[in-house]
C-alpha cells in the first residue's frame, strides 16, 4: 500500500534538506507528543545508518518500531525504513529544485505486511485510504508551512 504527497516550498533545496535531516528536532517534537524514542546509533552528524527504537500508541495499542536511515543523498533524497510488528514500511523523501529559492518536497510511504495481523491492519487502512491520504496531505502541508516559517525567521 502506498501513500504519496508533494508540496512546493519557497525555500532553497539545501535548506529544506538540512531541516529534514535535523533529527534531534524531530526527536524532541515526537517526545512532546508522548512518543518514546531511543537513539541506537552513535553518529555525530545526520547520515546513513542513523537508527532509532520508537514506542508509540496506534489504534489503542502500544507499538514498537525500529527506524533506520537507509538512503542519504544530500541534498536530493533521504530514505527511511521501519519494522513495526510484522509490518515493513519505507518512506522516501525526494527534493527537486524548482528554482534557486523553490523546492518540491515529494514523500512516498509504502507499507508491506509480513504477518496475518499486519495484513488485516493494512486491509483496514485500505478501506480508509481516501481519508488517510487527505490527513497525510494535510500533515505534509503543515510541515511545509512550518519549514517556510523557520526559513524566513532564519533569514
The number of domains in the chain is: 1
Q: Which residues of the chain have pLDDT under 50?
A: none
Specify the pLDDT at position 58.
79
Picking from 123, 137, 136, 139, the residue whose alpha carbon sits closest to that of residue 1 is 123
Structure-block grid coordinates of residue 153: 525567521
CATH code for position 6: 3.30.530.20
Domain that holds residue 8: 2-154
Which residues lie below 8 Å from residue 140, measured CB to CB, with a gap of 6+?
5, 6, 7, 105, 107
> How far is C-alpha 116 from the chain's CA centre?
25
Specify the pLDDT at position 140.
96
Structure-block grid coordinates of residue 12: 532553497
Specify the pLDDT at position 60.
84
How much is the pTM?
0.91
Picking from 35, 1, 3, the residue whose alpha carbon sits closest to that of residue 135 is 3
- Distance of alpha carbon 136 from alpha carbon 141, whole angstroms: 9
Structure-block grid coordinates of residue 154: 532564519
Structure-block grid coordinates of residue 112: 508491506
Amino acid at each position: 500500500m502506498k501513500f504519496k504527497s508533494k508540496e512546493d516550498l519557497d525555500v532553497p533545496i539545501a535548506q529544506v534538506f538540512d531541516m529534514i535531516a535535523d533529527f534531534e528536532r524531530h526527536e524532541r517534537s515526537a517526545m512532546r507528543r508522548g512518543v518514546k524514542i531511543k537513539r541506537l546509533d552513535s553518529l555525530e552528524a545526520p547520515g546513513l545508518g542513523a537508527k532509532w527504537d520508537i514506542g508509540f500508541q496506534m489504534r489503542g495499542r502500544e507499538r514498537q518500531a525500529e527506524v533506520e536511515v537507509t538512503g542519504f543523498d544530500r541534498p536530493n533524497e533521504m530514505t527511511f525504513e521501519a519494522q513495526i510488528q510484522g509490518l515493513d514500511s519505507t518512506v522516501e523523501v525526494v527534493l527537486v529544485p524548482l528554482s534557486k529559492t523553490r523546492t518540491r518536497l515529494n514523500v512516498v510511504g509504502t507499507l508491506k505486511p509480513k504477518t496475518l495481523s499486519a495484513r488485516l491492519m493494512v486491509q483496514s487502512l485500505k478501506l480508509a485510504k481516501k481519508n488517510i491520504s487527505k490527513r497525510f496531505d494535510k500533515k505534509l502541508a503543515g510541515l511545509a508551512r512550518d519549514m517556510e516559517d523557520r526559513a524566513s525567521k532564519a533569514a
